[in-house]
Amino acid sequence: MRDEAIISFPLGGLNVKELVIKQDPQKGCKTKFSKRIPGIVLNFDDTLLQYILEWVDLLIKKGWGLTNPLFPKSERGRKPGDLFYCTATDVERKPWKDTESIRDIFMERSKAAKLPYFPPKAFRSSAVLLALDFAKTGKEIKAISQCFGHEFVATTLACYGNQTEDNLIKTLKGMSFQRKEPTDKDKKLEQIAKILLDE
C-alpha cells in the first residue's frame, strides 16, 4: 500500500481470517486517483504477519471499531525521542494528518538500527519485486499488478520492475534458454489448436 493509504486505512478494510485487503476510498482509504484496490496480505515473513495480526487483535480488544484506522496516530509527545508505540493506549482513534510522521518514524528507526534511511516507497518497491519473484504465469503477474493498484502490468514493471545489476545477473543465470522437448500435453494442445485454427 502507498503511505497515504496506510495512514487512512480502516480496520474494517482487512479481513483477518482470509488476509484480504480492500482499499476502498468510500470507506476513507486514500488511494491514488481514488481507486478501489482489492488485494491480500502478501505474507513474505510469518513473524511480520504475526505482529500485524496481534496488533489487530489488540485494537479489537480495546474496542476499536471497523471505521477506526488500522495504523492510528500515536501520542508521540508522551516519550521524547521514542517514536514507536506498543499498546493501543498510546494511540488515538484517529488517523495521521499526513505521511510526514511515517517518514519521521522510519528515519528514527533507521538511525536506531544504524541502517540507511529507506522511505516508505522503498518498502513498496521491494514488496513488488519480491511478489514478482513468485509469479509463474501472466495471470499471476497481472494479479500482483492489480494488488499494487496498477491498471496496467506495464506500469508495475516500468516503475518497480528494475533490478539491481547483481539481481539482474542472478535472475538471468537462473533462467534456462534451451528449448525443451515437447511433452505429451504440449503435443495434445498443439493438435487442439491446429483443429480449431483449421475450422
pLDDT at res. 25: 97
pLDDT at res. 167: 83
3-state SS record for 43-99: CCCHHHHHHHHHHHHHHHHCCCCCCCECCCCECHHHCCCCCCCCCHHHECCCCCCCC
> Is the CB of residue 156 less than 8 Å from the CB of residue 131?
no
> Is the CB of residue 91 less than 8 Å from the CB of residue 75?
yes
Confidence of residue 198 (pLDDT cuts 50, 70, 90): low
Q: Could you tell me the CA-to-CA distances from 138 to 135, 153, 159, 173 in Å, in that order?
A: 8, 9, 18, 21
Helices 153-160 and 138-147 pack at an angle, to 10 degrees, of 70
Please indicate whether residue 10 or residue 192 has the higher confidence score (pLDDT): 10
pLDDT at res. 84: 55
pLDDT at res. 78: 45
Q: Could you tell me the CA-to-CA distances from 112 to 58, 106, 126 in Å, in that order?
A: 26, 10, 21
118 CB-contact burial (10 Å; exposed 0-12 / middle 13-18 / buried 19+)? middle
The alpha carbon torsion through 158, 163, 168, 172 (nearest 10 deg) reads -50
What mean pLDDT do residues 173-191 have?
77
Structure confidence by residue, pLDDT tens digits, 157-180: 888 878 888 988 988 888 778 777
> Is the CB of residue 129 less than 8 Å from the CB of residue 160?
yes
Distance between first and last Cα of the chain = 47
Percent of the chain clearing pLDDT 70 (strictly above): 91
Report whether pLDDT(75) > 70: no
Cell readout for 83 is 517514536
